[in-house]
Amino acid sequence: MKFKEASWKSFIVTTNTPIFTHEECDEIIKTGRQCLKIKGTVFEQKSIENIRDSNISWIPFEKLKPMYDRLNDVVHQINNNFFGFEGIQINELAQYTEYDPGGFYDWHVDMSLDGKKHPPIRKISMSVLLSNENEFEGGDLEIMDTGRKAKLIRGQALFFASFIRHRVSPVIKGNRKSLVVWFGGPAFK
């Protein structure tokens, strides 16, 4: 793998400030709810009751072009400063996700081990908290290798290498809303 001089912590980056305003978060939520809602899956697995419980929708590029443009700018800046991965681009639709009480997503990685089956290779994963951080309990985004819980505020983003194990712990109360986007490129060398 080719990286700029980086330590392990460079593969997990939280924005210092929100990348979306409250109004923009509301617009993303509204758009996500207008799109077809389905149960979240794990790649192509059908039986996932013990792995994931969430509702998702896919936001078409044309529905929120300004959001996609901003994400493209932010990920390129973060990739240049921290990751140093080649050929990073948005090549999948953004996933709007809701976790109701009891909803969760157990430990997983976001990249497929079979690059031929799921090209291009996911390299950077991003999660933006769309809910107000006080609207739910539980539902922590946890990064396995650091034991760290991402305590995000509304509109703030966490970027991490897609090969890092992570999970969303069960929501105890309320509803956790997030935006997940993957940025991919050619296979690691």
Residues 20, 101: Cα–Cα separation, whole Å: 25
Q: What is the pTM of this model?
A: 0.89
In a domain? residue 70: yes
Greatest alpha-carbon span in the chain? 44
Least confident span in 57-66, 109-118, 127-136, 147-156: 109-118
Q: What is the pLDDT of residues 92-129, one digit of tens each?
A: 999 999 999 999 999 888 987 655 555 688 999 999 99
The domain that contains 93 carries what CATH number? 2.60.120.620
The helices-and-strands tally (H runs, E runs) of the chain is 2, 15
Q: What strands, in cross-sheet order, belong to the sheet with 104-108?
A: 52-53, 104-108, 166-168, 141-143, 148-150
In a domain? residue 144: yes
Question: Given 3-state DSSP classes, what are the helix, strand and coil percentages for the chain, each rounded to the nearest 5?
Answer: 20, 35, 45
Least confident span in 47-56, 100-109, 125-134: 47-56
Q: Please count the structural domains in the chain.
A: 1
pLDDT surpassing 90 at residue 186: no
In a domain? residue 119: yes
